[in-house]
Every structure is written in C-alpha cells, then in structure tokens.
Structure 1
C-alpha cells in the first residue's frame, strides 16, 4: 500500500467518527487522524471540507467524503480486498445497500428521536421514515435471526459496522429495548479485532 492510499480522517472521539474509525480498521487501510476540537468545526478551513461543520469527514486521493454512511460505503468500495461490500453484480448487493441505508436513515432517526424524548403518535407515523420503532426493531431482529451471524449471513460488511453501531448506541443509552438477538449480535461485533482497536484508539482520545 503506497503513501498515496492514505486516508485523512477528521474526527472527534465523542462523535459518529467512532463508526468511521471502526470502518477504517476493518478496511485495513492506512489512515491519519486529524483530531478536531468542537470549537474548530466552524472554522473557515474546516467548513471548506464540510459546510455543515460536522465530523467525521475523510479525504482520499483528493476526494472529500462526508456523512458517516457515505464514508462507510466509499471505504468499502475503495478497499475491495477487505471484502466489506458485495460487488455490483453480486446478488447480495441490494440487501447490503438496503441494510446500510436502513441503519443510516430510519434506524438512526428512530433512536435519535427516542433519545430526545420525541414520541411519534400512530397518526404521525406515516410522516416519519421508520413508522413505528417497535415494528422497525422487530424487522431488524428478524433479519439477524434469518441471516446470522452477520446481516448478509456468513459475510461481514459495512452494513454491520453501521447498523451494529446504532444498536450499540441504542442499548447503551436505553433508547431501544434489549432483546437476546441484539445482545448476541453485539457480542459477536465486539469480539472483532478491528472493533477493539478502534474503540481503544477513540477511548484514549476522550477528555480526561
């Protein structure tokens, strides 16, 4: 791997950058961390990278990518040797994309709403992407049971990184109800060396 393959990674350890660091470790690519203070995210230099003033962001071969799910999808395709995304012609590609963006859209929105105390009434459910959180979590649980050990069966993918991170967050902060299927899935995820390396690296950067 040449120096030109290096990924520049802008992050903060208390952000969704934790998901991207895990993805970088799974991809096995060379990367350099640019640790950002929250007050620096609105600086002109960083706003040129992400006008929303949010982390994470990456730069690779001069290409800037923001938004966590987009970064995960990019890295999976940019480093195919890691096997983190089915190829375009692979029959699993559709399921992979659906699950990755289900996690980034409806699942993350449902967990965030619950964390903020937002309760969606049955009358409002048609207007939110996840509809009913209970139904959404049931579908995800059924998917894990049917496809175990990973979302695509025997094949671990970027969808596991993103969806697993959301379930981990939801269980940690009690915004999703625990169930044995989720607990077993998280134990498998947390046993992965890449997750352990990424978590240790980010934990070491937390403010004392």
Structure 2
C-alpha cells in the first residue's frame, strides 16, 4: 500500500476514466474495488462518498469525487505529467471539460432513458437537444488533434472516455471526426495499461466457466 493516493472504483463504471487519468500521471496508487452491492453502500464508503457512487479518490487525506473533477484535480496535483492546460489552452480546456460533464452527458443519458425534451423543454435543458449537443462535439474534435489544441490534456481523458463508451453502445453516432479522435486516444500507452488492469479485475470477479 502506498498510502498517498487511493482509487475507489468498479471496473464496470466511470472508475475506468479515473484509472486512465491516474495512469497518465505516472503516480503510484492503491485500488479499492467495490461491488455494486453491500460494499458501495457500507458506512465506510459512504463516509468517503455519500452519493454511494464510484469513482472517488483520496489523496493525502483529501477526498475528490465526480469524474471530471478527479481528472482536473490530478492534472493540477501532478504537474510533471503536463496534463493541465497551458495558459493559451485554458479556454478550450475548461469549456470542453465542463461541456462533456454537463450538457453532453445529460443529452446522452436522457436519450438512453428515452427522454426527449420538446421545443419548450429545450429552453430549460442545458443541452437543448441531443442532435445539437452531439453536432457541437463532433465539430470540436474535427478541428484540432486534441480538444484543447495540439496537446493531449486531462480534458481528453474525460471527453475521450465518454465518446469511447457511448459509441461502443450506439448512443453517440460514429462520425468520421469522432472515431478519428477516439483512435488517437486509444493508442496512448496509459489508456491501454488502464484498460488491461480494469479488464483483469472484471475477469477476476466473473464466475468461472464449468465444463
């Protein structure tokens, strides 16, 4: 146990995003894998995240929840990894990180749940409508190699993870720009390491086949 940084996660959750982000930093960390049953609602974990959701991290005794916040926090906490924005990247970095965590995820979640706001309701919904939100992100990733410019940042970990997941399940269109963006991110060694570690956790927790 390293003690300085602990990731609370489930390999079938947004915890995969936090794992990827930690792997990008190169930091040593411990992992506490929680199931969706008793462990996630137990008092010990509720003291860390009262939402009873993963991921969460504890770094030097400080708790951070919410996946986009975890990505931004780790980028700031491990500056040598160069995942935080440069001054000229900050506008796009914060714009698209919060767009992904807010309007984009809300639009996709509502679509998956069968919720389609009518014209009047679209004024209240931060994303307007699904097609608009997806078109905006499609245009954004078409213009630059990474979401904040020419350099990979923590914002790409969060947005890229969303697009990887949602295109896999048909919840976001597999446009040429989106798939090219995903392909660039998928080649990153830290993403591959994180995926292998989480896939191994899934394999360990899955029932073994019986002949």
Matched, 1:25 2:23: yes
Contact 1:107/1:166, CA 8 A, preserved across alignment: no
Q: TM-score, normalised by structure 1?
A: 0.93
- 8 Å contact from structure 2 (residues 18, 67) kept in 1: yes
Structure-2 residue corresponding to 1:191: 187
Once the two structures are superposed, residues 160-180 of structure 1 have per-residue CA deviations (whole angstroms, 9 ceiling, x without a partner) of 111111111211111112210
Deviation at 1:66, TM superposition (A): 0.8
Aligned equivalents of 2:71, 2:175: Cα separation in 1:
27
> How far 1:57 sits from its partner (Å)?
0.5
Name 1:114's counterpart in structure 2: 111
Deviation readout 1:145-169 (Å, 9 max, x if unpaired): 222x111221101111111111112
CA RMSD of aligned residues (A): 1.2
The question of 1:128 aligning with 2:163 is answered no
Unaligned runs of 5+ in 2: 207-211
Aligned equivalents of 1:106 and 1:169: distance in 2? 17
TM-score (norm 2): 0.92
Please give the secondary structure, in 1, of the residue aligned with 2:88: coil
1:178 & 1:120 partners in 2: Cα distance?
A: 23
Partner of residue 182, structure 1 = 178
Is 1:165 the counterpart of 2:161? The answer is: yes
Q: 4+ residue stretches of structure 1 with deviation over 3 A?
A: none
SS at match of 2:53: coil
Three-state SS of the structure 2 residue aligned to 1:65 is strand
Task: Please report how far the alpha carbon of residue 73 of structure 1 lies from its aligned counterpart in structure 2 after TM superposition.
Answer: 0.7
* CA-CA distance at 1:69 after TM superposition: 0.8
Q: What is the alpha-carbon distance in structure 2 between the residues aligned to residue 83 and residue 202 of structure 1?
A: 24
Quote how far apart the aligned CAs of 1:38 are. Answer: 1.4
Tell me how far apart the structure 1 counterparts of residues 22 and 96 of structure 2 sit (CA, whole Å): 19
Matched with 1:142 is: 139
Retained in 1: the 8 A contact 2:89–2:148?
yes
Deviation of residue 91 (structure 1)? 2.4
